[in-house]
Chains A and B, each alone.
Chain A
Amino acid sequence: MTKFLAPLYALLLAGLLALGSAQAQSTLTIGTVAEASDLDPRITYDVYSYQRMYAIMEPLLIFDTDLSYQPRLATSWEFAEDGRSITFQLREGVEFHHGRPFTAEDVKYTFDWMLNPDNPAANPALYEDITNVEILDDTTVRFDLTGDNAFILNSIARLHIVPADLGENEDFGSAPVGTGPFVFESWARDDRMVLTANPDYWGGAPKVDRVEFRPIIEDTTRLIALESGEIDLYYGQPVRSELDNLEANDAIDVQRVDGLGHQYVAFNTEHPELGDARVRQAISHLIPREGIVERILEGVGSVGTGPIAPSSVYFEPEAETYPYDPERAAELLEEAGVDQLSVRLHTNENPVRPLMAEILQFEAQQIGVEIEIIVEEFGAFIDRLLDSTDYDLFLIGWSGNVDPNYAMYELFHSTGGSNFTAYGNPELDALLDEGRRLPPGSEESIATYKEAQRVLMDDAPFAFINHSEEVALSRASVEGWEAHPYSSATFANLHLVEITD
Chain B
Amino acid sequence: MGITGYVLKRLISLAITLLGVSVIVFLLVHLSPGDPIRIMLGEQARPEDVQRLTELYGFDEPLPVQYVRWMAAAVQGDLGDSIRSGTPVIELVAQRLPATIELAVVALILAVVIGIPLGVLAAVTRNSPIDLASMGLALVGVAAPNFWIGLILLSTVASNVGWIPAFGRGPGVVEAFGAGLTEFRWGPLLDAGRHLLLPSLAIGTSIMAIITRMTRSSLLEVLGLDYVRTARAKGVRRAVVTVRHALRNAILPVVTVVGLQFGFLLGGAIVTETVFAWPGIGRLIVDSIAQRDFPVVQGSILMLAVVFVFVNLLVDLSYGLINPRIRYD
Within the complex, which residue of B34, B38, B41, B43 is in contact with A120, where a contact is CB–CB below 8 Å? B41
Cβ-based interface call for B310 (8 A): no
B190 and A11 contact, CB distance less than 8 A:
yes
Contacts of A35 in B (CB 8 A): 287
A188 near B: Cβ within 8 Å? yes
> Distance in Å from the Cβ of A31 to the closest Cβ of chain B?
8
B43 and A191 within 8 A (CB): no
Given A220-B154, A224-B154, A382-B39, residue A14 in contact with residue B48 (CB < 8 A): no
**Band of interface residues on B:** 35 or more
CB-based contact A216/B277 at 8 Å = yes
**Contact pick for B33, options A122, A214, A215, A380, CB 8 Å:** A380
Closest B residue to A387 by CB, please name it: B35
Residue among A173, A188, A228, A417 facing the most chain B CB atoms (10 A cut-off): A228
Task: Report A-chain residues with C-beta under 8 Å of the C-beta of B32.
Answer: 380
Residues on the A chain within 8 Å of B151, using CB:
220
A113-141 to B contact mask, C-beta < 8 Å, 1/0: 00001001111111000000000000000
- Establish whether residues A379 and B33, one from each chain, have CB atoms under 8 Å apart when the complex forms: yes
Quick check: A188 and B34 within 8 Å, CB to CB?
Answer: no
* A188-B95 contact, Cβ under 8 Å, with A15-B187, A126-B44, A170-B86: yes
Do A18 and B159 have beta carbons less than 8 Å apart? no
Of B71-79, B162-170, B206-214, the segment with at least 4 beta carbons within 8 Å of chain A is B162-170
Q: Taking the complex as formed, is B42 at the interface, i.e. its CB lies under 8 A from any CB of chain A?
A: yes
Chain B hits for A383, CB < 8 A: 33-35, 38
Q: Is A11 in contact with B186, judged by CB distance below 8 angstroms?
A: yes
1/0 per residue, CB under 8 A from A, across B175-205: the answer is: 0000000001111111100000000000000
Interface membership of A384, Cβ < 8 A = yes
In the complex with contacts A218-B274, A418-B44, A379-B187 CB distance below 8 A: no
Do A214 and B39 touch across chains, with their CB atoms under 8 A apart?
no
Segment 196-238 of A: residues with Cβ below 8 Å from B:
214-218, 220-222, 224-225, 227-228, 230
Output the nearest chain A residue to B42 by Cβ-Cβ distance: A45
User: Which residue, A117, A190, A222, has most C-beta atoms of chain B within 10 A?
Assistant: A190
Contact B42 A120 (CB under 8 A): no
For residue A37, CB closer than 8 A to chain B, the reply is yes
Say yes or no: is A386 at the interface (Cβ < 8 Å to chain B): yes
Contact call A384/B279, Cβ cutoff below 8 A: no
CA distance A126 to B287 in the complex (A): 27
Judge if A378 is at the interface, Cβ distance under 8 Å: yes
Query: How long is the Cα–Cα vector from A19 to B186 in the complex, in angstroms?
Result: 12
A18 touches B279 (CB 8 A): no
Q: Does A80 contact B (CB under 8 A)?
A: no
CB neighbours (8 Å) of A188 from chain B are 95, 279
- Residues 139 to 182 of chain A near chain B (Cβ within 8 Å): 170-171, 173-174
Provide the bound-state CA to CA distance between A70 and B116, in Å. 65
Whether B87 and A218, one on each chain, are in contact in the complex, defined by CB atoms closer than 8 angstroms, is: no
Given A19, A174, A217, which contacts B274 in the complex, CB threshold below 8 Å? Answer: A217
Contact status A120-B95, CB under 8 Å:
no
Point out the residues of chain A lying under 8 angstroms from B46, CB to CB. Answer: 124-125
Among residues of B, the one whose C-beta sits closest to the C-beta of A174 is B85
State whether the Cβ of B26 lies closer than 8 Å to any Cβ in chain A. Answer: no
- CB of B255, distance to nearest CB on chain A (Å): 31
Query: B223 contacts which chain A residues (CB < 8 A)?
Result: none
Residues of A within 8 A of B166 (CB): 221, 224-225, 228, 230
> Is B60 an interface residue when CB atoms closer than 8 A count as contact?
no
Across the interface, which residues of B come within 8 angstroms of A122, CB to CB? Answer: 40-42, 45
Chain A residue nearest to B286 in the complex (CB): A217
> Do A123 and B159 touch across chains, with their CB atoms under 8 A apart?
no
How many angstroms from the CA of A418 to the CA of B39 in the assembled complex?
14
A410, CB-defined interface residue at 8 Å: yes
Residue A377, interface by CB 8 Å: yes
Among the listed A171, A230, A376, which residue makes an inter-chain contact with B165, where contact means beta carbons less than 8 Å apart? A230
Residues of chain A with a CB closer than 8 A to B222's CB = none
Min CB distance A360 to B, Å, is 24
B84 in the interface (beta carbon within 8 A): yes
For A124, the chain B residues whose CB sits under 8 A away are 44-46, 49
- A126 to B154 CA separation, bound complex (whole angstroms): 44
* CA gap between A222 and B154 in the complex, in Å: 10
A295: CB under 8 A from chain B? no
Q: A117 contacts B158, CB within 8 Å?
A: no
B318 contacts across to A, CB distance below 8 A? none
* Residues of B275-305 whose CB lies within 8 A of A: 275-277, 279, 283-284, 287, 290-292
Question: Which of A38, A217, A417 is within 8 Å of B84, CB to CB?
Answer: A38
What's the least CB distance linking B270 to chain A, in Å?
A: 11
Select from chain B the residue with minimum beta-carbon distance to A225.
B166
Bound Cα distance A218, B45 (Å): 30
Smallest CB separation, A18 vs chain B (Å): 3
Chain A residues with CB under 8 Å of B92's CB are 189
Given known pairs A221-B276, A382-B34, the reply for A120 and B191 (CB within 8 Å) is no
Which chain B residue lies CB-closest to A37?
Answer: B84
B-side contacts of A220, CB under 8 Å: 151, 154-155, 275
Query: Do A221 and B162 touch (CB < 8 A)?
Result: no
Whole-angstrom distance between the alpha carbons of A15 and B163 in the complex? 11
Residues of chain A within 8 A (CB-CB) of B87 are 174
B53 at the interface (CB under 8 A from A): yes
> Which residues of A349-402 have CB atoms within 8 Å of chain B's CB atoms?
376-380, 382-384, 386-387
Q: Are A221 and B38 within 8 A (Cβ)?
A: no
Residues of A within 8 A of B33 (CB): 376, 379-380, 383-384
B-chain residues with CB within 8 Å of residue A6 when the two chains form the complex: none
Whether the Cβ atoms of B190 and A12 lie closer than 8 Å is: yes
Check if A192 is an interface residue, CB within 8 A of chain B: yes
Chain B residue contacts of A38, Cβ below 8 A: 84-85
Contacts of B167 in A (CB 8 A): 31, 214, 216, 221-222, 225, 230
Q: 11 A-B pairs, CB-CB below 8 angstroms?
A: A14-B187, A14-B190, A15-B186, A43-B40, A122-B45, A220-B154, A224-B154, A228-B158, A230-B165, A380-B33, A383-B35
Other than A122-B41, A216-B167, A377-B34, give 4 A-B pairs with Cβ distance below 8 A.
A218-B275, A220-B151, A377-B290, A386-B35
